[in-house]
Amino acid sequence: MAVKSLADLLAEGVEGRGVLVRCDLNVPLDEAGTVTDTGRIDASAPTLRALSDAGAKVVVTAHLGRPKGGPDPKFSLAPVAAVLAERLGRHVQLAGDVVGTNALARAEGLTDGDILLLENIRFDPRETSKDDAERQALAAELAELVGGPDGSGGAFVSDGFGVVHRKQASVYDVAALLPNYAGRLVAAEVKVLEQLARAGERPYAVVLGGSKVSDKLAVIENLAGKADSLIIGGGMCFTFLAAQGSPVGTSLLQEEMIDTCRRLLEEYGDVIHLPVDVVVAAEFSADSPPETVPADQIPADKMGLDIGPESVKRFTTLLSNARTIFWNGPMGVFEFPAYAAGTKGVAEAIIAATAKGAFSVVGGGDSAAAVRQLGLAEDGFSHISTGGGASLEYLEGKTLPGIEILY
């Protein structure tokens, strides 16, 4: 059975109908509480606008950060509501609680086309509970907000791709209680990932960065046999360099993963490409002076914070011939200007390959943040995913609970 789409729901008619939408609005805030990257809010807007324009009474649920089992003003969705209202060009109400008296009163008072954002769903510890009954109780209260006591008449739209790998009340359990549909964002993400999982057009290049090998191990093992080239940068490259017997100084190192990296290099040595030079510093600081050294000659008192210019050149050559590219994880500490050139260079190589006809996907998380922070054109890539963890788990071959429940 195929997943029903937002178009199916709109065709059925939503005027006057309560629709619960799970969005991923987990955006970064600065210390003043200002949203510093609106990517996920922007990605959520089309589904919400379509429902509002069609006259639905829209109730949005989302999380922000990791509050510890109860309300915390630091994680309020108030700044998100303000940006969302700006993007949609219409008022967005913010409930004072999740499924409490304020949320209920506001939901009952909605008129056609209104949008209500519930307060951070993780303020209710039942959202992430391992106890099925607890999650299901919260899901029932969410369903009641859009469909009366038994949920009848309401509908659920899953549009938070960044959370579909989580078995949580607002992602999984509520989808079992209401007629469910995939929002535009989730439908688009799944279509793109299906194409990547099939390895699409060849040559297929995978670019992996970030800090830990352990985080990417399953995706390396699943894609190494499908990809024509697997480019490794970021903090995780130092564990691979150590596995080759190179000194890595004070660089990030997962010693317990060295044997695993050695095995991967033996098994997929023709596919895995490591940096040939790295940019090192005496300490982890934006002000620490950069020095470029060969990747197998990192001084004992220095740490690698980026890949070097020669590595960027080599990786650019590999990427220039690719027809399908998946990138997840920065090549260095791009937040520090002196150590951002590796990430920027590889990103620009992917943009150039895309301009020549390659199909390119940025796998969410820090990679998507880097694209925006480094001032690169987002439309230079075929697709920028909103869910780093979800896209990785899909490419590892895992089942995503929030997608599975929609079938």
Q: Which residues are catalytic?
A: 40, 212, 365, 389
For residue 73, the Cα-to-chain-centroid distance in whole angstroms is: 24
- For helices 309-320 and 341-355, the axis angle rounded to 10 degrees is 20
d(CA 62, CA 193): 23
Sign of the Cα torsion 269, 273, 279, 283 reads negative
Helix (H) or strand (E) holding 145: helix 132-147
**What sections of 246-340 are H helices per DSSP?**
258-268, 309-320
Helix (H) or strand (E) holding 342: helix 341-355
d(CA 349, CA 330): 14
Contact 119, 145 (CB under 8 A): no
In the 3-class helix/strand/coil scheme, how is 23-80 assigned residue by residue?
ECCCCCECCCCCECCCHHHHHHHHHHHHHHHCCCEEEEECCCCCCCCCCCHHHCCHHH
Contact 142, 174 (CB under 8 A): yes
Residue 76 structure tokens? 């309020």
> What is the residue whose two structure tokens read 């090549």?
331
Among 215, 244, 232, residue whose Cα is nearest residue 278: 232
- Is 224 exposed, middle or buried, given 0-12, 13-18 or 19+ CB atoms closer than 10 A? middle
d(CA 383, CA 175): 27
d(CA 47, CA 41): 11
d(CA 51, CA 322): 39
Contact 100, 124 (CB under 8 A): no
Contact 115, 92 (CB under 8 A): yes
Question: What are residue 61's DSSP bridge partners?
Answer: 22
